[in-house]
Amino acid sequence: METVKSTSEAKVLKPGNFYDLKFVGNIVVAGKRILFEVAKPERETNDYSTGIYELIDGRGVRFTRGERDYGMVRDKTGKLIAYESKEGGKVSINIKDISSSRDHRLVEIDGRIGKIAWDKDSEGLYLLVQKEKKNEDYRIIENIPLFSDDKGFMEGFSYELIHVDSKGKSSLILKGKEEIRDFAVNPMKNEIAIEIRSLDYDDYHARIGILSKANGHITYLKSGNGDYLTPGGIGGTSSMEYLEDGTLVFLLNKHEHFIEEAPEIVFWKDGKLNEVMKKYDISPGSALSMDSSMVDSTKMRVKGNQVYFIATVHGRVGLYSLNAEGELNTVLAGEFSVESFDFDEDVVYFVAQNSNTPPEIYVHDGKVKLLLTMNEQLKRWNLRKPENFHFKASDGEDIEAWILKGKGKGTIVRIHGGPRGAFGEALVFEAHLLNSMGFSVIYCNPRGSDSYGDLFAAAVVKRYGERDFKDIMELVEYSIKRYKLDASRLGVTGGSYGGFMVNWIVGHTDKFKAAVSDRSFADAVSDYFSGDIGPTFDADQIGGTPYDNLETYWEKSPIKHIRNCKTPILLIQNDADYRCPVWQAYELFTQLKMQGTTTRLVIFKGENHNLPYSGKPRNRVKRLEEIAAWFDKFLA
């Protein structure tokens, strides 16, 4: 895979250069035409323009007319695509004929569309629609979780699965308050597989059912011991598809050992579950920490009797295939990460990125070739490839790490979220921004990280702040010696679980001269009772409940240890973040101010946990400005 070559005239990055980025994804091959989607942050509107493009003679040419076209889905004949279009606050579903390029508006939708799928005869579409009550001055809540990050308060939603025929006539298939998360259309029978989270189920548990269109009855799949199967999706995209013979393929996470296990891809046919993936310890989906990908893309496709999917292995995201006999094959793997893919017979067209190149269009026809870059301006930035290295932790475990060597301003340690996230071959604009300012940036995948197997990831369960903390501190010691870094000018930053680790670190060592804690949690007790996944996640990761394990909950809370903090620390939190609620930062800020520690709290209004990845452009830039200024003040 090609990477961007450095040029002699380097351009110093500024936070505002974020507006130069174009985010590429969702590649689709239809009628021999190579289509893909592009999102671009717009300074004037403080939003993203999105469009569907075609690859023609090495150029990206606009294929649809709207300024907010996205969510493209091809029918099985390859002659039609359906897509969403937003104009003036209204969302419509459009159909475009590939051969004639004619398109028409099929239907206008009131609500948020969760998924579009063609029916088995390409004569209409199934739509999953989430509707929200509006203009009410009160909420009546009777179930938990009471809210979910990126969605809001769950009691305010209703869900509909509808069918729209070729003339735009809608018919209701399924409706209710239970959360319909996903569906797949059986090509052999008049059936639809559905994934449903019941109102008394948490975010980690849902049911798989088979909906008969003939009588409207749902038959739920059950395991041998009578328990409902618990599915898990791949990074917010479709978690189920049908093979051509009517075999249902879906992602399953039984939580046999801990809640964050990697899901399996399983096959279901004639009432039998075939778990052929148990012998493979890989992680379907992309677990990589990045701020360079925001186009929703299909991560799993079926072709013949094979299911093709992306998976994260040792910090790289490759393309793999699996069949019901358990044969797993590597289709694409290397020093890159696949974002989206599709086929033209045996040729694979795909979107991929690496650690100094944003997502672009490639082809694999025996070898990998770059077909199109939508980010030519990147060459002016002179982004360097981070050096990949490994070191032995004190217990002998191999830890993978990276460094962007700076120009003497100090060194910043970055910590990913999760904890089952990972760094690797993905572009992190924030890291290159800090490096362009003169800072060295180091990061690693400590214990708890994804892509090195379930045992590696499970090493922090009920042991937060132990082996993960040691791995990070040993990264610092190793890097200081190997790369001759200035030990007196060290900074640390991280978001989500990475923010937890920052809070933990500054409560346990004075080694760092500046810190940024982004979207963190600090109080495990209050998080258990108020985070959207708190009761399930904390019970699993910390152990039990605060009622029966209060001492451990308090011990594993950074707020207990923050009174030892002397490090100047910037706190960044979002007031619509229900994963790490804003009051976690309020608690930290109050104690830090009371004890006289230098601190600053920045709260972004209306943003959820995903601000660094999909938040409003101005807020994303402002966040980068705050981080850059903080380290410039205390480390430069």
For residues 53 and 373, the answer to whether their CB atoms sit within 8 Å is no
pLDDT digits (tens, 9 = 90+) for 494-504: 999 999 999 99
In a domain, 12, yes or no: no
The whole-angstrom separation of Cα 616 and Cα 635 is 29
For residues 51 and 66, the answer to whether their CB atoms sit within 8 Å is yes
Can you give the residue range of the structural domain that contains 567? 381-635
The whole-angstrom separation of Cα 204 and Cα 201 is 8
Q: Using CB atoms within 10 A of its CB, is residue 326 exposed (0-12), middle (13-18) or buried (19+)?
A: middle
Task: Sort strands 569-574 and 599-604 into parallel, antiparallel or unpaired.
Answer: parallel
Angle formed at CA 52 by CA 4 and CA 125, multiple of 5 degrees? 135
Give the CATH number for residue 535.
3.40.50.1820
For residues 240 and 216, the answer to whether their CB atoms sit within 8 Å is no
pLDDT digits (tens, 9 = 90+) for 68-123: 999 999 999 999 999 999 988 889 999 999 988 899 999 999 999 999 999 999 99
Q: What are the structure tokens assigned to 382, written together? A: 């002179």
The whole-angstrom separation of Cα 567 and Cα 358 is 34
Q: Which residue has the higher pLDDT, 224 or 467?
A: 467
Confidence of residue 7 (pLDDT cuts 50, 70, 90): very low
Q: How far is CA 505 from CA 12, 569, 570, in A?
A: 31, 11, 14
Query: Which residue's structure tokens are 């830890």?
Result: 399
Q: Which of 258, 267, 136, 255 is nearest to 193 (CA)?
A: 267
Which pTM does this prediction carry?
0.96
Backbone φ and ψ of 60, nearest 5°: -95, 115
Q: Which of 297, 346, 293, 354 is nearest to 321 (CA)?
A: 346
For residues 122 and 76, the answer to whether their CB atoms sit within 8 Å is yes
In a domain, 532, yes or no: yes
pLDDT digits (tens, 9 = 90+) for 159-211: 999 999 999 999 999 999 899 999 999 999 999 999 999 888 888 888 999 99
Neighbours of 184 (CB within 10 A): 22
Report CA 128 to chain centroid distance, whole Å: 21
H helices present in 390-507, as ranges: 429-436, 454-458, 467-483, 497-506
Q: What are the structure tokens assigned to 408, written together? A: 């003497």
Q: Which residue has the higher pLDDT, 401 or 234?
A: 401
In a domain, 548, yes or no: yes
Q: Which of 187, 195, 325, 188 is nearest to 251 (CA)?
A: 195
Q: Which of 631, 41, 10, 1 is nearest to 292 (CA)?
A: 41
In a domain, 315, yes or no: no
In a domain, 196, yes or no: no
Half-sphere exposure of 195 (CA within 13 A, CB side): 25
Torsion of CA 534, 538, 541, 545, to 10 degrees: -160
Half-sphere exposure of 605 (CA within 13 A, CB side): 0
pLDDT of residue 234: 56
Backbone φ and ψ of 617, nearest 5°: -50, -45
Q: What are the structure tokens assigned to 493, written together? A: 């930053």
For residues 162 and 126, the answer to whether their CB atoms sit within 8 Å is yes
In a domain, 432, yes or no: yes
pLDDT of residue 2: 55
What is the share, in percent, of the chain residues with pLDDT greater than 70?
Answer: 96
pLDDT of residue 88: 83
Confidence of residue 225 (pLDDT cuts 50, 70, 90): low
pLDDT digits (tens, 9 = 90+) for 259-277: 999 999 999 999 899 999 9
Task: Sort strands 398-404 and 368-372 into parallel, antiparallel or unpaired.
Answer: unpaired
Neighbours of 189 (CB within 10 A): 14
Neighbours of 284 (CB within 10 A): 26
Over 90: is that where the pLDDT of 233 sits? no
Return mean pLDDT, the chain.
Answer: 93
pLDDT of residue 220: 92
Per-residue pLDDT, averaged over 602-624, amounts to: 97
Check residue 474 and give left, alpha or beta (phi > 0: left; psi -120 to 50: alpha): alpha
pLDDT of residue 236: 52
Q: Is the dihedral of CA 502, 507, 513, 516 positive or negative?
A: positive
The whole-angstrom separation of Cα 93 and Cα 86 is 9
The whole-angstrom separation of Cα 284 and Cα 251 is 9
Query: Which residue's structure tokens are 């010691």?
Result: 477
Confidence of residue 27 (pLDDT cuts 50, 70, 90): very high
Q: Which of 413, 623, 401, 621 is nearest to 514 (CA)?
A: 413
In a domain, 385, yes or no: yes
The whole-angstrom separation of Cα 17 and Cα 437 is 13
Per-residue pLDDT, averaged over 127-155, amounts to: 89
The total domain count for the chain is 1
For residues 42 and 617, the answer to whether their CB atoms sit within 8 Å is yes
